[in-house]
Structure 1
Amino acid sequence: MSIKSPKRIYRKTTRAKQEEQTRRRITEAVVDLHRTVGPAQTTISDIANLAGVGRVTVYKHFPDDAAMFRACSDHWIADNPPPDFTQALTEPDELKRAAEVFQLLYDYYRRSYDMMGKVMRDAKTLPALADVVENGWMKLLQNLEDALMPAGKTGAGAQRYRATLRVAMDIDTWSTFSGMGFNDEAAAELVCRWLEQD
């Protein structure tokens, strides 16, 4: 029976802390590069240089794109959580409910567009990133869409209503509104006018 010395335990603890700090530095570098140039333009060399480590160290912590994208997403979301839609979704009037939800959603897009705009753009060409987006942000939007669907809507009317919600929730739709000078409240009001037609 062998007894581990305190010195060995201390070394292992120190090494684990150093590994954790290195992983965090790499993750923060990935987040910064994704926010500034986008995932598609981020290279391992760029990440290594910004994190102050070698390329091999980056691969050691993130052996594939999927692992890197998940870590980046988790880290960024922790600092930039999506809005809490709970209160807005309790509004009984369907159009007022939609207006409140879209104001919250569009405010979030405005605050996070430097990252989310690039991620959503690059997810169209990066399958590993598309998977992270699909299992994260797109699920949230799907749940919102379901929550905003009026209970009595059926048939073609329900299909049009859902299509309008889906288009309105797209970050590119918000970007178009913003580029045309709409503030978030005015953009949400316009969406509600579309929904009112259905």
Structure 2
Amino acid sequence: MSEQKRSPKSRGYEMQKRAEDVQRTRQRIVEAAVHLHETAGPAWTSISAIAARAGVTRLTVYRHFPDETALFEACSGHWLSRQRPPRPEEWGAIEDPLERLTAGLADMYRFYREGEQMLTLVIRDQHAVPESVREAWEERTRQYAEVLANAWPEADAPVLRAVIGHAVAFSTWRSLCREQGLRDREAVEFMVTLAVAVGSKS
């Protein structure tokens, strides 16, 4: 059937189908990149490997994602959409500083445990992560620490802020719970106790 003989409805259907095919291809690329980041790590994930897993060519990958930053941002968003990120809007509403810190750290440590494999490899391979993606992660972590610190009367005390900043770091959770064998609850209690000791001296 020639272009002239096709009805507007037929052309509209074909355009919609092409758009859906493009979106499905893009999704396969993103899912392939997420899988490789989570199993091999960003530093060991090449465009060729992503293309092979997604069943497309390298050119197709670049057509959808012209640079690494665009691909990383899409991967980060897709991975986070499948997680249960920390909810600072919930524990930030708790007025008591100890209760807020306990709730916040429990929420963050739960997230760290659930996302441990990806977070471990991404942090290990930070040198291969685009700067904008690293900065976004660091900014989120700073915001979590800010919400927790602001509940304390001694909120401006540098040492207290340092302790809370240390407490919210993924590396702290990993050290306490993976390397030292504490359970999440025990790690939370330890960091809260440390914050109380520091806060009382501020």
TM-score (norm 2): 0.87
Distance 2:113 2:18 in 1: 41
Q: 2:72 aligns to what?
A: 69
Residue 135 of structure 2 is matched in structure 1 by: 134
Distance in 1 separating the partners of 2:59 and 2:145: 43
Which position in structure 1 is the counterpart of 2:45?
42
Residues of 1 paired with 2:52 and 2:148: CA distance?
45
CA contact (8 A) 2:167 2:173 kept: yes
Deviation at 1:194, TM superposition (A): 1.4
1:159–1:4: structure 2 CA closer, same or farther, 3 Å change rule? farther
User: Match for residue 59 of structure 1?
Assistant: 62
Residue 153 of structure 1 deviates from its aligned partner by 1.7
Matched, 1:17 2:20: yes
CA offsets, 1:133-176, max 9 Å, x none? 322x3332222211222453266xx1001111111111111111
Cross-structure match for 2:174: 175
Q: For residues 1-198 of structure 1, what are the structure 2 equivalents within 5 Å?
A: 5-123=8-126, 125-126=127-128, 128=130, 130-135=131-136, 137-149=137-149, 150-153=151-154, 158-178=157-177, 179-198=179-198
CA deviation digits over 1:49-92, x for unaligned, max 9? 10011111111111100000010011111111303233333333
User: What CA distance in whole angstroms lies between the structure 1 residues aligned with 2:148 and 2:110?
Assistant: 18
Give me the whole-angstrom Cα distance separating, in 2, the residues matched to 1:103 and 1:88. 10
Name the CA distance, whole Å, in 1 between partners of 2:128 and 2:60: 23
Give the TM-score of the pair, scaled to structure 1: 0.89
CA distance in 1, matches of 2:27, 2:55: 12
- Ranges in structure 2 where 5+ consecutive residues have no aligned partner: none
Partner Cα distance (1:10, 1:90) in 2: 49
Distance 1:151 1:167 in 2: 16
Which structure 1 segments of 5+ residues have no match? none
